[in-house]
A = this chain, B = another copy of it.
Amino acid sequence: MRVAAATVSYIGTDFFGYQAQPDVRTVQGEFEKALEKIFKQKLSCWGSGRTDTGVHAFGQVIAFMIPNENINVKNLKDGLNSVLPRDIYIRELKEVSEKFNPRFDAKKRVYHYYIHRSEEPNIFIKDRVWWFPYDLDIQLMRNASRYLEGEHDFTSFKSGNDKKNPMRTVNRIRILEMNNNILLIRVEGQSFLRRMVRNIVGTLVKVGTKTWEPETVKELLESKDRSVVPASAPPHGLYFYSVYF
C-alpha cells in the first residue's frame, strides 16, 4: 500500500475547523471530497493536528492512502490542487512509508500567532491577524513566556472539554516584532492541548497590557485550575505553521 503526505495551507475563516463533522464544511471533509474526485472512491485522510473553527494552517500535514499503484506523485499534487476549494492548497506532496502516522510521528509542532498593533484596523488582514489597538509591553510578555517553557501541567491553559493528560512540554516561545506593526508569537512543542496556544497568547497579552504581572503566569500554571485563565486569543490570528517528524 502506498501512502502520501501532503503539506497543506488553508484559510480557516470559512471552515468549522479541521476535523470532519456531519453537515458542516471542514478541512478534512473537503480534502476527502477531493480524494474521492481524483480516485473515484471514498478515502480517509489523517492530519497532524486538529485546528478549531477560524484557525489557519500554513503547514498542516495530511496523510492518505494512494489506491492507484501507477499514479505519479507530482501529477497527484497538481490534480488534487485543481479539485480542492480555493481556500485549501497542497504546497508539497510526497510518498512516505506505509507506517507513517502524521499525528503520532510528529516530533515538533510550531504555531504562529500574529497580532496587528495599530490604532486603525487594516481590512486586508482582518481575518488573518488579531487587531489589537492597545499598548503592549513586549519585554514583560517575553519575561512571562519564560514561565511557560519546559514541561508543565497545562490544566489551566486547556479547553474545558479536553480530557487528555495535561502534562506538556513547550520547547520555546519567541516573541518577534515584524514589519508593518505585526507581532509574531511563535510557540514550539511536541503536542498541545486543545486551545492551549490561544490561551497562552491571551495570557501573554494580559501581561503585555499590564493587567497581570509576569509572575501571575507562574501562579496560573501552578493553580492547575481551568477557570482562572482569561478568554483565549481569537482563532483568526492563529496558524498551525509547521510539523517536524
Query: Which residues of A are interface residues toward B (Cβ below 8 A)?
Result: 9-11, 56, 58, 86-89, 91, 120-124, 126, 128, 179
Contacts and interface: CB of A to CB of B under 8 A. Distances in A.
A128 B124 contact: yes
A9 B123 contact: yes
Nearest to A179: B179
A86 B124 CA distance: 10
Contacts of A121: 89
A56 B9 CA distance: 24
Contacts of A10: 123
A164 to B, nearest CB: 30
Contacts of A128: 124
A88 B120 CA distance: 13
17 contacts: A9-B122, A9-B123, A9-B124, A10-B123, A11-B123, A11-B124, A56-B124, A58-B124, A86-B123, A86-B126, A87-B123, A88-B123, A89-B121, A89-B123, A91-B120, A124-B128, A179-B179
A66 B188 CA distance: 53
A92 to B, nearest CB: 8
Given A11-B123, A86-B126, 7 more contacts: A9-B122, A11-B124, A56-B124, A88-B123, A89-B121, A89-B123, A179-B179
A200 to B, nearest CB: 23
Contacts of A87: 123
Nearest to A127: B86
A128 B89 CA distance: 16
A180 to B, nearest CB: 9
A58 B123 CA distance: 9
Closest 8 CB pairs of A and B: A89-B123, A9-B123, A91-B120, A179-B179, A11-B123, A124-B128, A11-B124, A87-B123
Contacts of A9: 122-124
Contacts of A89: 121, 123
A10 B124 CA distance: 8
A175 to B, nearest CB: 19
A176 to B, nearest CB: 13
Contacts of A88: 123
Nearest to A92: B120
